[in-house]
Structure 1
Amino acid sequence: MNQFDPIKQLRAAERRAARPPEQRKRARITEAFFGRFAGLPLRERQARSLAYALLHTPVRTGGGPYLAGQLYTEYCGDLGGSDFDPRWRDFDCNYVAEQRARREIPGLAELTGADRDGKNPSWVTYASCAPGHVGWRYEWILESGVTGLLRRIGRSYRKADAEGREFLEGCRILLEAMLAWNDLHAKKLEKALRSCRTEVRRRELRAKLALVRRVPRYGARTFHEALQAFHFSYLATMFENPYGGNGPGRLDYFLWPYLERDLAAGRETVESATEKVAELFLRMHERNYCKDMGIETIMVAGSRPDGSSAFNPLSEIMVRVIMKLAVTTPHVYIRIPENPPPALLELAAEYLKDGHNMAQILSDRSIVPALVRGGVAPEDAAMYMCGGCMELSPQGMNCDLLFTGFFNVPKILELTLNGGICLNTGCRMLSGYRRTLEEFDSFEELYGAFLGNLKTTLGFTFRCMDLFSEEAARLRPAFLLSAQVSDCIERARNLNDGGARYNDYGSTPIGLPDAADSLYALKHAVFENGIAGKAGLLAALQSNFASDELLRLRLLKLPKFGQGDPEADGMAARLFRDVCAIYDGFSNRFGGKVKPMLMSFVFSPIAGNALGASANGHKAGVPVAQGMTPHSSSMTRGIGTAMQSANRLDLGAAPGGVASMWDLSGGLTRLDVLQGLLRSFIATGGQIFQGNTTSVEELRAARRDPESYRHLIVRVGGFSAKFTALDPQLQDEIINRHRHCV
């Protein structure tokens, strides 16, 4: 066995990644698309241009003893991208769709409103969509190789219409390019073997050469072959789709049968398998080293399609490898099945405590029924993954518009109270709306107007998603990805053109706890108990409470979501239910849904900056709550009460996922206590558990002396990142979050 030191390998990978070889992907695609293939039909032109770029990408076979092949992240939008060359403007999906959105959805532009200098947007949403955040069915390549996919394409080709044949031909071109690129690796290994003089190195080269001669062309027979087959599918598919959130998903589930056989036959040991997993993770880290927010997620454990536990020794190997490496790519998350084995809960608790703030724990007990309720077949729902932070979808079965924007819900409440005018900028953001708080005779009338504005403005964004879907189908065919997404080959359409089994979008309404607290304050203080007059409260909000500090303090003391108060929690439940109903009421161009995905990513302080003063007593600029976690300032009665408030919501109405953030300190970070918290979280219906265990003192020290804390990783909002690399406002938000303690 090779002497494999994972930390030494990590340092070598980071040295290589700090100065990666120039790949010139954009330039090569542009050269091919507007030069040598300019006269071809669009679909063939797209496929051959990308294939040309892949086949002219530098071949790298080194970097470790076990796996061949390496690429580096080079995000370049759709094919080349209009920001790179203006000739792309008619062929760049995002550019074309954004131009259409501006023309066809005039109300959308107001919701992205900027101040009078055109800076610091007081935004409600974004007039764009981010592709990605899905997985693919690489297990097909593991099982029958690229040749198996090509045979399926051939069978479908004979039955397809003309448009379908163009798509399938593009898939064939790219899959054959993957094999040709693999053959270039074999040639380079053969050349290195001829000149090699040391026996250890010769054994390593012979082993790699045997791998690339077998996979991914044919199906894998061993764990080592399966790892290499996955690795090559990963490199090629991410070369075509370099978008955030795309990732391996249930890697332990698909690789375990190969390792199980090899362990039984004596071909592998736990130690040798651990080394190979470590090298795979290091290759992923090296690829993303200079782009630390790709969030390529691996899901371990969880349920099989029949509902039984899929936890296996490889699940634990992957968690322990990422804990040892302490890198932020890949992200490794744990799924907890129904009736989890004690060892899995112990591992999850250990990961939360000692996993460098990288852990995220997901409960199948709550998530699988939510997906089924959202229209996913039970056996498909059991195969869910996180695409990026927490965007849930059945692996390799959905279109890739699952992260199509953030929507600032409390901003709509602000505009509803203030006649459609932004408190921060004085700009109009709702052109057809003029009423103010003073004009409402009852809370129900106010709530109805707010919900109406919310439905109208969300409708603008849903329409925007359909425009992006139309242009993605035409201009971003994603041949390799689509060939590995369920039903695309059989339907002879790409994943955004009706090919994918599920054509659901995803969108993130943020700040719901903040909006709920403000709604409760309005109901209680203005319409029921006369604590504040309408004109007085509106004036206080418009002055950022400078005109009435006493009123602000009284509003702050009112019950809040997360404190166990039935009325305050009831308001949050009502708002959550009504927002989810708006999402559920929309059908997209293929009859799919827009699924609400409750998280915050990096937008907690950004959304807060867009807000003026709020009826919950917050001044302008206060960061909004994380996902559906009660606001930090509201969690005054302990984690148990706050958790019960959050999980009492009808979380099944949000099939896109509901994240919560529980930053812990002191006695709550003991392993036995963490296991108890996880059991309680799961039992009360929670979906996604995450949080930080690093002390506030250490975070503040890192702000003062970042050079000494380059290693420090924190949980941001669905993902983990190096603390010192974050924006100062985001650092402050993490430092100022409520820390639960005994």
Structure 2
Amino acid sequence: MAKYFTEEIPKTDRIPGLVKHLYAKMPEIESARARLITESYKATEDKPVIMRRALAFAHILDHIPIIIRDGELVVGSTTIAPRGCQTYPEFSYKWLEAEFDTVETRKADPFYIAEQTKRELLEADAYWEGKTTSELATSLMTEETKKAIEHNIFTPGNYFYNGVGHVTVQYDKVLAVGYRGIIDEIQAELDRCNPGDGDYCTKSQFLKAAILSCEAVIRYAGRYAELAEQEASACSEAGRRQELLQIAANCRQVPAYGASSFHEACQSFWFVQQLLQLESSGHSISPGRFDQYMYPYYKNDLDSGKLTRESAQELIDCIWVKLNDLNKCRDAASAEGFAGYSLFQNLIVGGQDKDGCDVTNDLSFMCITASKHVFLPQPSLSIRVWNKSPHALLLKAADLTRTGIGLPAYYNDEVIIPSLLSRGLTLEDAREYNIIGCVEPQKAGKTEGWHDAAFYNMCRPLELVFSNGWDKGEKISIETGSVEDMTTFEEFYDAYKKQMNYNISLLVNADNAIDVAHAVRCPLPFLSCMVEDCIRRGKSVQEGGAVYNFTGPQGFGIANMADSLYAIKKLVFDEKKVTLAEYKRALAMNYGQGFDAVSAGEIVTEIVREMARSGMDVDEGQIAEMIETVMKTEPSPEEKKKYEELLAMIEAVPKFGNDDEEVDLFARDVAYTYTRPLLNYRNPRGGQFQAGLYPVSANVPLGAQTGATPDGRLAHTPVADGVSPSAGRDVNGPTAAANSVARLDHGIASNGTLFNQKFHPTALSGEKGLENFVALIRSYFDQKGSHMQFNVVDRETLLDAQAHPEKYAHLVVRVAGYSALFTTLSKSLQDDIIRRTEQGL
């Protein structure tokens, strides 16, 4: 076991200045990358796509403007503007052009965009008509799939409009041998190829593209070395001049060659992290087990006297600042679902090695300290927990949690390792897992996991049970029978499962279409050269080059569906207090709140369906008129009273989240309606689909597209997040809620589960508060829970921050699988965080 120190190292004066500079103004969209990739593509139309990608990457790195920000010790910026972003027209672009005039003023994640930038992007984008991954993916989907997306049953928008990301590469390999060493490995594989081999044409092109990409990165680092030398020669302050000369020396050494010092290792790591984003547009490019692959360089320098713990901490702090400099602009709807400018760069500490020994070290503690020093959302810090995790590490993590930053998230080795084993990983690889993005486990450097591949709203198929497969005047799913004719709960539940299964198959079709589109149009040679076994196979990760290949779409709304189906079972079939017909009417009327466009659409759906069966045609104009008429309908006082009585009955039915074993096991079975069917499908890369149970923060905007549900939830309000109980329904305390969530089968959801809890700050005060908090985590994990994350903030503070954002510029909260500045979130997302049950220990 490595030696570690638990004492916290003070923050240097450099860090606040770097942070202040980073957040001095609104993030800005820049056009350099779009212009450069378009120039390259126009000049390479006669070449294979993998070569076009490499040549374009090289053209970008050779010509994109570069900058060294004041005071930074680790360099490399994707944009000149702090927290700026480039655009990626090869994936999609029309949504941004449509939002040019609103992107600066929208509620979630606004970006400044100059008029000149708009003109430059319009000129570059014109080339990409008909050439994007999103357009190809659309053409590959079935009409039924496109209709399901249009009606918000699920959304695959993450990779539909952007790069994939969601990967951890072989940082350790780059640190050890540099890109010169990787080029030598690629060249050796190329030398072994025979022109007569069946795959020679494709394999040789991939290997040559990978070499071109690595060489471009080396030149890019050289540009920074030259810039640092130029700035040093003009710098009059001796201390800063020496720092710039050291930066120049670092950039001459790495990432071309292996790192020979901790500072070089930090610089090499950062170039990898930054340039993966610049190549691919994908978020959730996660540093993984930073405390493990960086430790040898730290220890060697510390032992030799070249480095102090204080200077090492400052370097780590600088990397933490840089991780917040990367940014990404999403369309307005996606920005609502990912609000907070997050890139989900998950960095994890602690856990085991391949032999099952604990590997906590000094850097494990220093990473936690860095998050406390910098106090920004990135990296999305996580900690692995098992029965040999040092208590001191958990206390250190808990001390960070009680600051209210929402970090770290906690992960259970005892569930995740067996879960990965069940998906075909070796024991050694499973023991060395890290977390991607929000909550998704994978083996670094061997996996193309396609995590976060789609959001599947488990509430919408229940709506389709009540409407018999119709929505807003048209048939969009299978018909499972009229609910008025159903006589047993089993019949009703079976209809829900059929709706689930049918729409899961469409989700798979959407994901696979997008998967193919990325392989055909946007393979990534730079990323792929750092993922085993792409070099030997001669394939990019998009084409199946990785050792492990998965697709991981996530379902959400489990608590709503468990509570809804349980309420129907009890009130309709067991106690016979209400009929399904009455329940259906109550949902359509939003429990007496009156018809809105969606619920009115459900009523009109019934009318249109009957007209269609009678051979009558109804056009869109007639449907719109009928919906408008229905919306004017008000429930009578008698109806309103019935709805109030029904809501009271629903409220009295036991709810998931209160340590009621009958309800909790029922929820477990409901979760299986999503997790089990997915296991039957495979992706184009030869890998298996695997379920995740988490929503990022899409439970808010997608809840806004969902009608009332039988658990008493009103139409268009947020649905439950992750595997957490519905907000306000877990009334028996945090332990009871944890006991309930632990009864779900977390192992089958091998793409990750997400459990949110919120505590009043007094709950974690003092030494006793920390000890009780750690005990709660241990207890939950002992019961086979997989993940926990926390907000530690009182309701009054959040309400005041909502009303007076100028007073809370640095208030960081846990949103979903990530943290964000509270004041950057949309009001709907802020409201959802405020609504979460506030617990005490």
TM-score category of the 2 structures, normalised to the smaller one: over 0.9
Which amino acid is the alignment partner of residue 605 of structure 1? Answer: V
| 1:47-446 → structure 2 map (5 Å cutoff) | 47-64=54-71, 66-72=73-79, 74-77=85-88, 79=90, 81-83=92-94, 85-101=125-141, 105-113=142-150, 122-126=152-156, 129=159, 131-157=164-190, 158-159=192-193, 161-288=200-327, 292-399=341-448, 401-422=450-471, 426-428=472-474, 430-433=476-479, 435-446=481-492
Select which of 779, 789, 798 maps to 1:699: 798
Select which of 38, 42, 49 maps to 2:45: 38
Say whether the 8 Å CA contact 1:14–1:289 is kept in structure 2: no
Distance 2:586 2:247 in 1: 70
Secondary structure of 1:507's match? Answer: strand
Select which of 8, 29, 33 maps to 1:25: 33
Task: Give the Å deviation of 1:179.
Answer: 0.8
Task: Give the Å deviation of 1:277.
Answer: 0.7
Distance 2:158 2:171 in 1: 29
| 1:278-677 → structure 2 map (5 Å cutoff) | 278-288=317-327, 292-399=341-448, 401-422=450-471, 426-428=472-474, 430-433=476-479, 435-546=481-592, 547=639, 548-549=642-643, 550-665=645-760, 667-669=762-764, 670-677=769-776
Say whether the 8 Å CA contact 1:74–1:242 is kept in structure 2: no
For structure 1, which segment, 721-730 or 577-586, has the greater mean C-alpha deviation from structure 2 after superposition? 577-586
Say whether the 8 Å CA contact 1:78–1:476 is kept in structure 2: no
Task: Give the Å deviation of 1:710.
Answer: 1.7
Which amino acid is the alignment partner of residue 10 of structure 1? Answer: V
Task: Give the Å deviation of 1:361.
Answer: 1.2
Task: Give the Å deviation of 1:209.
Answer: 2.2
Distance 1:676 1:304 in 2: 24
Say whether the 8 Å CA contact 1:402–1:507 is kept in structure 2: yes
Which amino acid is the alignment partner of residue 323 of structure 2? Answer: M
Distance change (3 Å), C-alpha of 1:199 and 1:617: closer
Distance 1:618 1:448 in 2: 22
Say whether the 8 Å CA contact 2:31–2:87 is kept in structure 1: no
Distance 2:722 2:479 in 1: 28
Alignment partner of 1:726 is 2:825: yes
Secondary structure of 1:692's match? Answer: strand
Distance change (3 Å), C-alpha of 1:345 and 1:298: same
Distance 2:48 2:684 in 1: 26
Distance change (3 Å), C-alpha of 1:365 and 1:193: same
Q: Residue by residue, what CA displacement relative to the aligned partner does 1:87-135 show, whole Å, maximum 9, x if unpaired?
A: 323432122112322xxx1212232345xxxxxxx54434663512211
Secondary structure of 1:634's match? Answer: coil
Q: TM-score, normalised by structure 2?
A: 0.83
Task: Give the Å deviation of 1:694.
Answer: 0.9
Which amino acid is the alignment partner of residue 53 of structure 1? Answer: I
Question: What's the C-alpha RMSD, in Å, of the aligned pairs?
Answer: 2.3
Distance 1:474 1:18 in 2: 36
Distance 1:724 1:666 in 2: 20
Say whether the 8 Å CA contact 2:145–2:509 is kept in structure 1: no
For structure 1, which segment, 70-79 or 160-169, has the greater mean C-alpha deviation from structure 2 after superposition? 70-79
Which amino acid is the alignment partner of residue 360 of structure 2? Answer: F
Task: Give the Å deviation of 1:557.
Answer: 1.1
Which amino acid is the alignment partner of residue 560 of structure 1? Answer: K
Task: Give the Å deviation of 1:618.
Answer: 2.2
| Structure 2 counterpart of 1:119 | none
Say whether the 8 Å CA contact 1:513–1:561 is kept in structure 2: yes
Distance 2:475 2:187 in 1: 53
Distance 1:193 1:642 in 2: 58
Say whether the 8 Å CA contact 1:14–1:286 is kept in structure 2: no
Q: Residue by residue, what CA displacement relative to the aligned partner does 1:144-170 show, whole Å, maximum 9, x if unpaired?
A: 110111111112223362111111111
Task: Give the Å deviation of 1:78.
Answer: 5.6
Secondary structure of 2:405's match? Answer: coil
Distance change (3 Å), C-alpha of 1:473 and 1:232: same
Task: Give the Å deviation of 1:82.
Answer: 4.5
For structure 1, which segment, 371-380 or 126-135, has the greater mean C-alpha deviation from structure 2 after superposition? 126-135
Distance change (3 Å), C-alpha of 1:106 and 1:167: same
Distance change (3 Å), C-alpha of 1:138 and 1:429: farther
Distance 1:64 1:513 in 2: 48
Secondary structure of 1:603's match? Answer: coil
Q: TM-score, normalised by structure 1?
A: 0.93
Say whether the 8 Å CA contact 1:691–1:715 is kept in structure 2: yes
Q: Residue by residue, what CA displacement relative to the aligned partner does 1:439-483 show, whole Å, maximum 9, x if unpaired?
A: 222111221221111111111111221111111112111111111
Q: Residue by residue, what CA displacement relative to the aligned partner does 1:542-578 show, whole Å, maximum 9, x if unpaired?
A: 2222232211210121111122223211210111233
For structure 1, which segment, 182-191 or 495-504, has the greater mean C-alpha deviation from structure 2 after superposition? 182-191
Gaps of 5+ in 1: 115-121
Say whether the 8 Å CA contact 2:277–2:283 is kept in structure 1: no
Distance 1:412 1:428 in 2: 15
For structure 1, which segment, 248-257 or 38-47, has the greater mean C-alpha deviation from structure 2 after superposition? 38-47
For structure 1, which segment, 263-272 or 545-554, has the greater mean C-alpha deviation from structure 2 after superposition? 545-554
Distance 1:310 1:10 in 2: 31
Say whether the 8 Å CA contact 1:18–1:289 is kept in structure 2: no
Select which of 10, 17, 38 maps to 1:8: 17
Distance 1:23 1:45 in 2: 20
Alignment partner of 1:682 is 2:781: yes
Q: Residue by residue, what CA displacement relative to the aligned partner does 1:174-203 show, whole Å, maximum 9, x if unpaired?
A: 111111111222222333344444432332
For structure 1, which segment, 260-269 or 583-592, has the greater mean C-alpha deviation from structure 2 after superposition? 583-592
For structure 1, which segment, 618-627 or 288-297, has the greater mean C-alpha deviation from structure 2 after superposition? 288-297
Number of aligned positions between the proteins: 727
Distance 1:283 1:653 in 2: 36
Which amino acid is the alignment partner of residue 136 of structure 2? Answer: V
Distance 2:324 2:377 in 1: 7
Task: Give the Å deviation of 1:693.
Answer: 0.9
Distance 1:37 1:534 in 2: 62
Say whether the 8 Å CA contact 2:404–2:793 is kept in structure 1: no
Distance change (3 Å), C-alpha of 1:711 and 1:435: same
Which amino acid is the alignment partner of residue 49 of structure 1? Answer: A
Distance change (3 Å), C-alpha of 1:666 and 1:218: closer
For structure 1, which segment, 327-336 or 725-734, has the greater mean C-alpha deviation from structure 2 after superposition? 327-336
Distance change (3 Å), C-alpha of 1:193 and 1:708: closer
Distance 2:229 2:647 in 1: 74
Secondary structure of 2:788's match? Answer: strand
